[in-house]
A = this chain, B = another copy of it.
């Protein structure tokens, strides 16, 4: 049985127990959420038998983040990708997608799955295309089914499949500023154009469900027509595909499989909440897994920031998982440092969203860090930071480490202008009696 089937049958699985502890929620709440389709536990049986630590993605859980790694034809090997995996997990990625499209795809994926305690996602069409020699027109539905089965056997926990892009959607994309920006979406579109036939991933969705069910692979229903620019945000093509994704969510549940839905992309701030609400409505509450979104297009090189703004808004509005964007987005394949920058920006976004949604305990770490800050307990402040090493290095850059580590100031203000030091003085004065007179109106 899949987690979904077990939940529907009223059964609390060991994985539900496990994530209940991680989320500080009752096991029955987890079961209810999974049964309602509002939560997924991406845990392929094969990966579960290795070192996977089950986690949950859903609106009732804390907001999650995903890091995309993987090589391209231009750059990346097994060792580099394993390093990116370790960096991702170290800084707090909740899931990792291996989007390799270059050499050694199979070996890289197996190494990543074997090494990873977090769920691994893939986009099976990439490897299928590699094996076809690069011409998407040569694809037959069986090629895709075989590749999904192959990757499921390897232990992939969730897969992005672009089954919602329909032939009749393509005219809606022709006048877009940036066309189709999903790699899988554009490949399927090209296949449909060449064959003048409907999306084979849509027409074979039931067969795909049967494979997914066998291994309990979770659907990540790809948004092949997501907008790739602010100009194309929230357009007819995007929402036409979303309707199909809603239909596929229902179908995936009928087959007993777990499903989440992928979302945009590039969305201006004032349309983010509407996009999340619309997905929840159209897709029957299935967890929304958004890519950013970027809230402006003008800052290539800084798209971890342009998108962290949109991601925080999306998480606040109810998106269940935020797919990171690195500083290299639109420019090149991220390296290890880019992965780190992307993960940290998204930990910030997800955490800010947890606070804004008032998830229980979300603010505890903020409060602890602020208390350490006020007490000039620099070591504790660094320990509680998302990136202790960087915080410490920045502090030490302008104050010699040995002499000033316990100083009641930093180089920003120096000793005379530290407001927290002055507050200490004020509180001391208050204890000595001045405050009583002030409360009585001063003299």
A residues with a Cβ closer than 8 A to B are: 72-75, 101-102, 126, 129, 134, 167-168, 170-171, 173-174, 177-183, 185-187, 189-190, 192-194, 196-198, 228-232, 268-270, 295-302, 304-306, 308-309, 312-313, 316, 327-335, 344-345, 347-349, 351-353, 355-358, 363, 365-367, 369-371, 373-374, 381-382, 384-387, 390-391, 393-395, 397-399, 410-420, 422-427, 429-430, 434-435, 437-439, 441-443
Contacts and interface: CB of A to CB of B under 8 A. Distances in A.
A231 to B, nearest CB: 5
A215 to B, nearest CB: 26
Contact of A268 (B186, B349, B356, B411): B356
Contacts of A420: 178-179, 181, 228
Contacts of A358: 270
Contact of A302 (B386, B395, B397): B386
B72 A417 contact: yes
Given A309-B312, A426-B193, A73 B295 contact: no
A231 B374 CA distance: 12
B296 A419 contact: no
Interface hub of A306, A347, A419 (most chain B Cβ within 10 A): A419
A386 to B, nearest CB: 5
Contact of A369 (B270, B297, B417): B297
Contacts of A232: 370
B269 A374 contact: no
Contacts of A190: 422, 425-426, 429
Contact of A308 (B269, B305, B393): B305
Given A178-B370, A348-B306, A442 B196 contact: yes
17 contacts: A72-B413, A74-B399, A74-B414, A101-B416, A170-B438, A187-B422, A194-B434, A228-B370, A270-B316, A296-B348, A296-B355, A298-B385, A298-B386, A301-B394, A302-B386, A305-B344, A328-B394
Nearest to A386: B299
A171 B436 CA distance: 9
Contacts of A305: 304-305, 308, 344-345, 348
A126 B417 contact: yes
A170 to B, nearest CB: 6
Given A73-B417, A168-B438, 13 more contacts: A171-B439, A179-B424, A183-B417, A189-B423, A193-B435, A269-B353, A301-B387, A301-B390, A301-B393, A305-B348, A313-B313, A333-B411, A333-B412
Given A72-B414, A193-B434, A309 B348 contact: yes
Nearest to A136: B422
Contact of A179 (B187, B269, B410, B427): B427
Contacts of A382: 300
Contacts of A365: 298
A232 to B, nearest CB: 8
Nearest to A316: B269
Contacts of A438: 167-168, 170-171, 192-193, 196
Nearest to A415: B73
A305 to B, nearest CB: 5
Nearest to A197: B442
A387 B413 CA distance: 29
B434 A174 contact: no
Contact of A333 (B231, B309, B398): B398
A179 B332 contact: no
Nearest to A229: B370
Given A345-B305, A434-B193, A374 B73 contact: no
Given A355-B296, A356-B268, A430 B398 contact: no
Contacts of A352: 268-269, 295-296, 306, 309
A302 B387 CA distance: 9
Top 4 nearest A-B pairs (CB, nearest first) are: A179-B423, A73-B414, A229-B370, A186-B422
Interface hub of A296, A328, A419, A424 (most chain B Cβ within 10 A): A296
A394 B193 contact: no
Contacts of A439: 168, 171
